[in-house]
Amino acid sequence: MRTFICAAIMLIAVALSAPFTGSAFAQAGSTGGTLGNTDKSISGEREQPRRSEDHEKRKPASPHASSNCKLASVWANEMANTGSSVWTISADGSASEKGLCNASGHASLAGRTLTIRWHAACNDGVYTVQLNESCTAGSGKAAVVEGLGTGTVYTLTFSRVGD
């Protein structure tokens, strides 16, 4: 099949490159073509092509650009009016908490948003933490989605304490 497609493309290319006899070709402009220079501004001056380094300078910073944003980290968690814990997250996303509920779960990092889906003895929930630009701290919410306290939402702060 691949040989047939290649042969067909070559046959079409040869046919299109062969000179046509008895055919008249219209000049640009007579059938809607373009006359004159097209790389001029309204004032008539030629526009200079933009250099790639100028383009690179104008690119907005990507939320993934920080080398400090990595999934494998140790985080101190302070949950408002509730207590504190330490979350240890591995490169594969496995997460475990020491303190509070001693939960375990799976973490993911999208840009600077850290999400931990956790399970404890009597409930399940989700942490959503928006990290700062250096990915060393952040704030967010912990929501109980199933079990004891379903619907409860806690305000929290995370601070990276190690890798």
In-domain check, residue 15: no
In-domain check, residue 117: yes
Summarised one tens digit per residue, pLDDT across range 118-146 is 999 999 999 999 999 999 999 999 999 99
Q: What is the pLDDT along the chain (163 residues), one digit of tens a residue?
A: 444 443 444 444 444 444 544 444 445 554 555 555 555 555 566 655 555 544 444 444 444 444 568 999 999 999 999 999 999 999 999 999 999 999 999 999 999 999 999 999 999 999 999 999 999 999 999 999 999 999 999 999 999 998 7
The per-residue pLDDT for 8 is: 42
In-domain check, residue 46: no
Whole-number average pLDDT of the chain: 76
**Distance, CA of 147 to chain centre:** 33
The torsion angles phi and psi of 93, rounded to 5 degrees, stand at 95, -10
In-domain check, residue 24: no
Instruction: Render the chain in DSSP notation, one character per residue.
Output: -HHHHHHHHHHHHHHHHSPPSS-PPPPTTTTS---S-SSB-TTSPBPPPPPHHHHHHHSPPPTT--TT--S-EEEEEEETTTEEEEEEE-TTSEEEEEETT--EEEEEEETTEEEEEEE-SSEEEEEEEEE-TTSSEEEEEEEEEEETTTT-EEEEEEEEEE-
For the chain, the domain total comes to 1
In-domain check, residue 55: no
Domain that holds residue 99: 73-162
In-domain check, residue 45: no
The per-residue pLDDT for 117 is: 98
The per-residue pLDDT for 163 is: 76
- Domain of 120, CATH number, reads 2.40.128.20
pTM of this prediction exceeds 0.75: no
What's the first-to-final CA gap in the chain, in angstroms?
Answer: 53
> In this structure, what token pair is assigned to residue 19?
């000179």
